[in-house]
């Protein structure tokens, strides 16, 4: 007898439909799985046999063939345990009429030996696919129900054991669809850092506000202990809240890697990722025999913080050039080419020289000019061109460190950032893939970043004296547009352009 159930395979961050066919024929006991299964799928036969036997059902004897279609797509993980087990029970006649109900539903879940269902990765991604396909319902382990239920319009049925699933399909057990959990985007950040705790550094705090308002990349240069890391960790507290679409996009990446955590349905805050400088290129942008997302994708719609930027290996830093422009990472392998979302705000920090005290008012630098040049050369010119803001974060004098009163709180700064972002959302309404000024391409820059004759003269001087590339020129204009949005101006004034130019501190005259 032949039985069919619906499942899904997750490749990268996208789920693809998989039809599970189970054929039970007479003959000597034999079990075969075809359709490019990995080791976890092949081993499922032992888990399924034990789960069926230990829950009071009769495991079918005979020649069993399990086909996972399409056969040319690799199947990974333990999520196929439940649909295969249901196919076996249906082929054996154990569902008693409940088999017809399986046709319109999708199933996923790992089986324990006692028939309990264990959580799997990628449940949110499968739920997005199930809604797109218009299935009647998604049946999955209780631990995954919360994240799948955030996809509105899709009935999600939470189950804990194999007998419960069988009783549900027979109509003997009533299971109400799971409602969306309480976790939702837009909640206030849970970080303990706050801008009011940062003494001095008004120039740096202004630069972070501009970066947050327009989604711009930022590099801070200064001696050790100047506050660069603390400033970076305060950045998420002034970013606007995630929209529901952004939360689902980002949570899909986290779900694939199993990082959402039990009982967590959606990321409520913008992610902040700070990988160590020993990270590999595969760890940064993703990779592996069957590629999985890396830190750049985990920071999608959030902040990727690289502390001690020159200490990262050059090949790792260069892999970020493409996602900084395109907002995605494409990894090609012999079996498939996968795309991961990676639209992040790059925030980096570095010392000005190997000893860290070049230009420091308190300690003398012991580095030779050649050492300083070699230190800064670890960051390529093309990568620097893609960083909108370069600012110095100097050592604080004792008076500012000990006596300066509290400044503005993160909540106050965040209000201005949200106002500027609202202006940008209205400006780019109907333009796909563009949500902030940092995402503008050349055509949109020409449309929205026009300035007067005085502003053009300032830009001409900047290009001539600083040797700005075409990319850096466009980034200065985008920065000026963000500064104008923060000021509530409809047009870009020379003052906005002047402020944007002074944020390009690593564009030396020697490059002109």
Cis preceding linkage at 16, omega within 30: no
pLDDT averaged over every residue in the chain: 89
Amino acid 161: pLDDT: 96
What is the distance between the alpha carbons of residues 194 and 198, in angstroms, rounded to a whole number? 7
Residue tagged 């630098």 (tokens): 365
Mark 406-444 as b/e (b = at least 16 C-beta within 10 Å): ebbebeebbebbeebbebbeebbeeeeebbbbbbbeeeb
Helix (H) or strand (E) segment spanning residue 15: strand 14-25
Q: How far is CA 218 from the centre of its chain?
A: 19
C-beta separation of 80 from 20 below 8 A: yes
Closest Cα to residue 66, out of 95, 93, 86, 94? 86
List, for residues 205-249, the tens digit of each pLDDT value: 999 999 999 999 999 999 998 889 999 999 999 999 998 889 999
C-beta separation of 486 from 206 below 8 A: no
Amino acid 189: pLDDT: 44
In this prediction, residue 511 has a pLDDT band, given cuts at 50, 70 and 90, of very low
Token output for 369: 């000019």
What is the distance between the alpha carbons of residues 167 and 226, in angstroms, rounded to a whole number? 64
C-beta separation of 468 from 507 below 8 A: yes
List, for residues 390-413, the tens digit of each pLDDT value: 999 988 877 777 766 677 889 999
| Alpha helices, H only, 306-396 | 314-318, 321-326, 369-377, 381-385
Region at 35 (left for phi over 0; alpha for psi -120 to 50; beta for the rest): left
Closest Cα to residue 282, out of 343, 344, 219, 333? 333
User: For residue 84, is pLDDT > 60?
Assistant: yes
Amino acid 188: pLDDT: 44
CA distances from 107 to 84, 145, 157, 203, 269 (A): 9, 12, 10, 55, 30
In this prediction, residue 187 has a pLDDT band, given cuts at 50, 70 and 90, of very low
In percent, how much of the chain has pLDDT > 90? Answer: 66
Non-local (6+) Cβ contacts of 213 within 8 A are 416, 417, 420, 421, 482, 485, 486
C-beta separation of 401 from 199 below 8 A: yes
List, for residues 299-334, the tens digit of each pLDDT value: 999 999 999 999 999 999 999 999 999 999 998 876
Q: Is the pTM of this model over 0.85?
A: yes
């Amino acid at each position: 007898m032949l039985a069919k159930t619906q499942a899904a395979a997750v490749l990268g961050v996208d789920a693809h439909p998989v039809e599970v066919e189970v054929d039970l024929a007479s003959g000597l006991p034999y079990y075969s799985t075809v359709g490019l299964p990995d080791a976890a799928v092949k081993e499922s036969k032992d888990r399924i046999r034990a789960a069926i036997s230990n829950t009071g059902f009769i495991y079918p004897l005979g020649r069993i063939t399990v086909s996972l279609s399409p056969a040319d797509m690799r199947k990974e993980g333990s999520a196929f345990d439940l649909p295969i087990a249901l196919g076996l029970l249906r082929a054996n006649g154990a569902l008693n009429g409940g088999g017809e109900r399986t046709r319109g539903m999708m199933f996923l879940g790992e089986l324990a030996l006692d028939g309990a269902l264990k959580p799997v990765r990628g449940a949110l991604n499968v739920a997005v696919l199930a809604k797109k396909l218009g299935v009647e319902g998604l049946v999955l382990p209780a631990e995954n129900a919360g994240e799948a239920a955030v996809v509105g319009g899709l009935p999600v049925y939470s189950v804990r054991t194999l007998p419960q699933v069988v009783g549900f399909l027979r109509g003997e057990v009533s299971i109400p669809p799971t409602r969306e959990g309480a976790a939702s985007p837009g909640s206030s950040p849970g970080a303990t850092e706050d801008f009011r705790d940062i003494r001095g550094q008004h120039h740096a705090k202004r630069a972070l506000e501009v970066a947050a308002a327009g989604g711009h990349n930022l590099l801070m240069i200064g001696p050790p202990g100047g506050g660069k890391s603390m400033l970076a960790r305060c950045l998420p507290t002034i970013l606007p809240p995630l929209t529901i679409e952004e939360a689902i996009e980002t949570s899909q990446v986290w779900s694939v890697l199993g990082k959402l955590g039990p009982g967590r349905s959606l990321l409520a805050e913008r992610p902040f990722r700070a990988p160590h400088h020993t990270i590999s290129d595969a760890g940064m942008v993703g990779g592996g025999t069957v590629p999985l997302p890396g830190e750049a994708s985990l920071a999608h719609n959030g902040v990727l913080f690289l502390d001690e930027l020159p200490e990262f290996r050059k090949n790792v830093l260069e892999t970020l050039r493409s996602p900084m422009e395109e907002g995605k990472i494409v990894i090609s392998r012999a079996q498939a080419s996968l795309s991961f979302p990676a639209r992040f705000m790059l925030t980096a920090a570095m010392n000005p020289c190997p000893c860290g005290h070049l230009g420091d008012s308190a300690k003398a630098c012991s580095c030779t000019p050649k050492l300083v040049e070699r230190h800064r050369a670890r960051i390529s010119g093309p990568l620097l061109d893609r960083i909108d803001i370069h600012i110095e974060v100097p050592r604080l004098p004792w008076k500012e460190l000990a006596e300066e009163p509290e400044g503005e709180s993160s909540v106050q700064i965040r209000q201005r950032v949200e106002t500027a972002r609202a202006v940008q959302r209205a400006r780019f309404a109907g333009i796909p893939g563009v949500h902030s000024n940092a995402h503008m391409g050349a055509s949109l820059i020409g449309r929205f970043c026009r300035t007067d004759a005085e502003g053009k003269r300032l830009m001409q001087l900047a290009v001539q004296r600083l040797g700005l590339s075409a990319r850096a020129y466009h980034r200065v204009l985008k920065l000026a547009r963000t500064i104008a949005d923060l000021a509530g101006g409809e047009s870009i004034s020379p003052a906005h352009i002047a402020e944007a130019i002074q944020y390009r501190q690593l564009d030396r005259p020697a490059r002109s």
